[in-house]
Amino acid sequence: MAAASAIPLITLLTDFGTADSFVGSMKGAILGINPEARIVDLTHEVPAHDVRAGAYLLQTATRYFPPGTIHVAVVDPGVGSARRPLLLSTSTQHFLAPDNGLLSYVLAEEPDAEIRELTSQKYFLAAIGPTFHGRDLFAPVAAWLAQGESLDAFGPRVKDAVRFEIRRPALVKGRLVGEVQHIDRFGNLITNIGYTELRDLTEMDNWLGLQVKVRKAAVKGLQRCYADAKPKKLAALVNSDGWLELFCNQARADKLARAKLGDRVEVRRPR
DSSP type of residue 234: E
- CATH no., domain 9-154: 3.40.50.10790
Which of 80-89, 116-125, 204-213, 233-242 is the least confident region? 204-213
CA angle 79, 109, 145 (to 5 degrees): 50
Q: Residue range 73-95: average pLDDT?
A: 96
Q: Say yes or no to pLDDT of 7 above 80.
A: no
Evaluated on CA atoms 10, 20, 188, 97, the torsion sign reads positive
pLDDT digits (tens, 9 = 90+) for 50-66: 999 999 999 999 989 99
Q: Which band of pLDDT confidence, cut at 50, 70 and 90, is reported for residue 206?
A: confident
| Residue range(s) occupied by CATH 3.40.50.10790 in the chain | 9-154
Q: Say yes or no to pLDDT of 42 above 70.
A: yes
Domain 170-268 listed as CATH 2.40.30.90: yes
DSSP type of residue 134: I
pLDDT given at position 6: 66
pLDDT given at position 203: 84
pLDDT given at position 8: 80
8 vs 234 pLDDT, higher one: 234
Q: Which band of pLDDT confidence, cut at 50, 70 and 90, is reported for residue 1?
A: low
What separation in angstroms does the CA of 208 have from each of 171, 184, 251, 264?
20, 25, 22, 21
User: At what angle are helices 139-146 and 22-33 packed, to 10 degrees?
Assistant: 30
Q: Say yes or no to pLDDT of 91 above 70.
A: yes
Q: Whole-angstrom Cα distance, residue 13 to residue 123? A: 20
Strands 211-214 and 217-220: antiparallel
Q: Which band of pLDDT confidence, cut at 50, 70 and 90, is reported for residue 5?
A: low
Q: Say yes or no to pLDDT of 177 above 90.
A: yes
In the chain the beta strands, taken as DSSP E runs, fall at: 9-14, 38-43, 70-74, 85-89, 94-98, 114-117, 170-172, 175-183, 189-194, 211-214, 217-220, 234-238, 243-248, 264-268
- CA 81 remoteness from chain centre: 23
- CA 6 remoteness from chain centre: 25
Strands 234-238 and 243-248: antiparallel
| Residue range(s) occupied by CATH 2.40.30.90 in the chain | 170-268
Q: Residue range 127-136: average pLDDT?
A: 95
- Which amino acid, 8? P
Provide the mean pLDDT of the chain.
Answer: 95
Q: Could you tell me if 250 and 231 are in contact, meaning their C-beta atoms sit under 8 angstroms apart?
A: yes
pLDDT given at position 271: 76
For the chain, what is the largest distance between any 2 Cα atoms, rounded to a whole number of angstroms? 66
C-alpha torsion angle, residues 75, 78, 83, 85 (rounded to 10): 30
Evaluated on CA atoms 48, 49, 55, 58, the torsion sign reads positive
Q: Whole-angstrom Cα distance, residue 39 to residue 66? A: 13
